[in-house]
Amino acid sequence: MPIRVRIFTLLTLVLFLAPDLKAQNSIGINGQDTVINVITTAVPFLSIAPDPVSGAMGDVGVATDPDANSTFWNPAKLASINKNSGLALTFTPWLSKFVDDMSISYLTGFKKLDDQSAIGASMTYFDLGDIQLTDGAGNSIGDFTPREFAFSATYSRQLSRKLSLGITGKYIYSNLSGNITTSPVTDPKPGTSIAADIGVYYKSELVVFQKPSQLSYGASITNIGSKLSYNSADEEDFIPTNFRIGSALSSYLDQYNKVTLALDFNKLMVPTPQRDGSERDKPLLSGIFGSFGDAPGGFTEELQEVSVSFGAEYEYQEKFAIRTGYFYEHRNKGNRKYFTAGVGFMVKKLELNFSYLVPQFQEHPLAETLRFGMILDLSSSSDDN
How many domains are contained in the chain?
Answer: 1
Residue 69 belongs to some domain of the structure: yes
Q: What is the distance between the alpha carbons of residues 364 and 259, in angstroms, rounded to a whole number?
A: 31
Q: What is the CATH number of the domain that holds 202?
A: 2.40.160.40
Query: Confidence band (pLDDT; 50, 70, 90) for 381?
Result: low
Q: Does residue 291 sit within a domain?
A: yes
Which position has the higher pLDDT, 335 or 164?
A: 164
Cα separation, 251 vs 210, in Å, equals 10
Which are the contacts of 36, defined by CB distance < 8 A and separation ≥ 6? Answer: 19, 24, 27, 331, 332, 333, 334, 335
Which pTM value belongs to this model?
A: 0.86
CA distances from 176 to 31, 279, 280, 322 (A): 19, 23, 20, 38
pLDDT bucket at 166, cuts 50 / 70 / 90: very high
pLDDT of residue 245: 98
The answer to whether residue 184 scores a pLDDT higher than 90 is no
Q: Is residue 36 part of a domain?
A: no
Whether 218 contacts 201, CB under 8 Å? yes
Q: Is the pLDDT of residue 178 over 90?
A: no
Which positions ≥6 away from 118 have C-beta within 8 Å?
Answer: 78, 79, 81, 110, 111, 112, 154, 155, 156, 157
Looking at residues 284-308, what average pLDDT do you find?
91
Tell me, yes or no, whether 227 lies in a domain: yes
Q: Mean pLDDT lowest for which of 136-145, 195-204, 342-351?
A: 136-145
Per the domain annotation, does 20 fall within a domain? no
Q: Is 28 domain-assigned?
A: no
Between CA 52 and CA 250 the distance in angstroms is 19
Does residue 58 have a pLDDT over 60? yes
Range of weakest confidence among 4-13, 88-97, 118-127, 173-182: 4-13
pLDDT in tens, 192-214: 999 999 999 999 988 887 888 99
- For the ranges 40-44, 250-254, 312-316, the one whose mean pLDDT is highest: 312-316
Q: 92 lies in which domain range? A: 44-377
Q: In angstroms, rounded to a whole number, what is the distance separating the alpha carbons of residues 358 and 368? A: 7
pLDDT at 187: 67
What pLDDT, in 10s, does the model give residues 85-137?
999 999 999 888 777 888 999 999 999 999 999 999 999 999 988 877 666 67
Q: Is residue 24 part of a domain?
A: no
Least confident of 26-35, 194-203, 209-218, 263-272: 26-35
DSSP H or E stretch at residue 52 = helix 52-55
Phi, psi of 81 (to 5 degrees): -70, 145
- H or E, element range at 206: strand 191-208
Mean pLDDT computed over 13-30: 36
Mean pLDDT of 251-262: 93
Cα–Cα dist 12/125, whole Å: 17
